Amino acid sequence: MSGQEGNSDVLKIMEFLLTAEIFNAHQDLDINDLNPESRALFGAGSGGNPDVKRPLLVSEGALRRVFDGGEAFPAVRKNPFVGYEEFGQRFSITSLEPAAAWFLKKGGMPLVGKNPVLAYFLENVDSVPVTYSEVRARNPRFEDTKEYLDAKVSRVIGESEEMREARDLIIISAPDEVEFSLEKLVCTHRQAEIVEKIGIALEHRDFLKARGIYEFGRLLFVGPPGTGKTSLALAMSRELHMPVLEVRLAMVTSQYLGETSKNIDRIFELAKKISPCILFIDEFDFVAKTRVSDDHGAMKRAVNMLLKNIDQISFVRNGVLLIGATNHPRLLDEAAWRRFDEIVEFPLPDEEMRREILVKVGSAVDCDCDFADIAARTEGFSGSDLRMMMKEAIISALMSGRHRIEPEDVELGLLRVEERNVIRGAGSAYA
């Protein structure tokens, strides 16, 4: 272990010790003041419980389980501001302010910027450029974790067989499980505006509720395949810190036909119990197809039940943001359209949007590419097409033993997407 690595390991252990000492002394700090590493060390949030049991203790055994810095332990024991209990093999801070000053002097400032507990204690210290509220805002929220969501869902479905059946019909994702983020997407002005509007409404739900403003938060995403409807719905989960419940109507109605109406009812009820959340209904045009072409009375009742539930759901009242998505808006009749407060269009990207998408996708790899030229040559490509093109280019480079993408790799990726689109067009002609 090099001297630099040793110093880094000592600082990390000291961070845990300072965190425990400060957290124990300040009852107003909670689980969202602990960064993810501290939660893991102290077992905070175990079983999805957000309550943190004090006092937090730092044992050598616990450190060894979560931290590969064992060789730093002797140096930490020698620190003049650290106590060590041989019987329990526990570390503790003996003098907080001198220990914090030592920590800063030895280079701990970058760790303070990622640790709300330390920022809370140090923000008023001269020469420490940190703001507690900003550090806490950047810290990953415990309520965004899969562990918290799983515990919440378990409590809900444990109360009811009907809720367990509804759970089996949907895909539930916690915000921190979602791969998409707004930073990775290229949005139109209208799409960015709707995200901002929902964020403001979420922040002021009580204000809106007190004034009876309930007709808000039922969105219909409209556009061709691959233009980002699902990606934005998932990215909103991360941005707004709400889990997303994905529903595919075809899957719901493919279950026992007589149960379809009940299943739709149950899904909406489950969303209300898990709220605040996003209820994302993909392939919403299935409603229109069923209303037009299916003579089965049970199916018609199911569709009417869906429309009734949409009428009754409210982001302000229930905390459920409803997002429907369709590739075929012309199939929707007036009864379906008027259920939604906002229609958000997802057009095929223009040349400038295509260039921005390529730049974002290409930023993750070493690439010798003229993105402006590629954007000019890919008219009619969706965002999904462009990402697929770059994926094929990366695979092409790897197959040639390279990590750097050359122009010929991009050309091959472009050809693969064009071939795929030709086959897709031919397939629709066969149908």
Domains contained in the chain, CATH given: 3-140 (no CATH), 144-345 (3.40.50.300), 351-430 (1.10.8.60)
**DSSP label at 255?**
S
User: CA nearest 206: which of 309, 311, 315, 312?
Assistant: 315
CA 330 from chain center: how many Å?
31
Q: Which of 13-17, 117-121, 253-257, 286-290 has the lowest mean pLDDT?
A: 253-257
Tokens at 378, concatenated: 């890919």
CA 217 to chain centre: 19
Mean pLDDT of 280-309: 74
pLDDT score, position 390: 94
What local confidence, expressed as pLDDT, does residue 67 receive? 74
Rounded distance between C-alpha atoms, residue 190 and residue 164, angstroms: 37
Task: Mean pLDDT check: name the lowest of 162-166, 205-209, 263-267, 329-333.
Answer: 329-333
When the pLDDT of each residue in the chain is averaged and rounded to a whole number, the result is 89
Per-residue pLDDT at 335: 81
Per-residue pLDDT, averaged over 120-148, amounts to 94
| pLDDT at 71 > cutoff 50 | yes
**Over pLDDT 90: what percentage of the chain?**
71
Q: How confident is the model at residue 298 (pLDDT cuts 50, 70, 90)?
A: low
Tell me if residue 82 falls in helix, strand or coil. strand
**pLDDT band at residue 5 using 50, 70 and 90 as cut-offs:** very low
Whether the per-residue pLDDT at 268 is higher than 90: the answer is: yes
pTM of the model: 0.87
Closest of 336, 260, 329 to residue 300, by C-alpha: 260
Phi and psi for 380 in degrees, rounded to 5? Answer: 90, -5
238: pLDDT strictly greater than 60? yes
Q: CB of 324 within 8 A of CB of 247?
A: no
Instruction: Quote the pLDDT of residue 304.
Output: 83
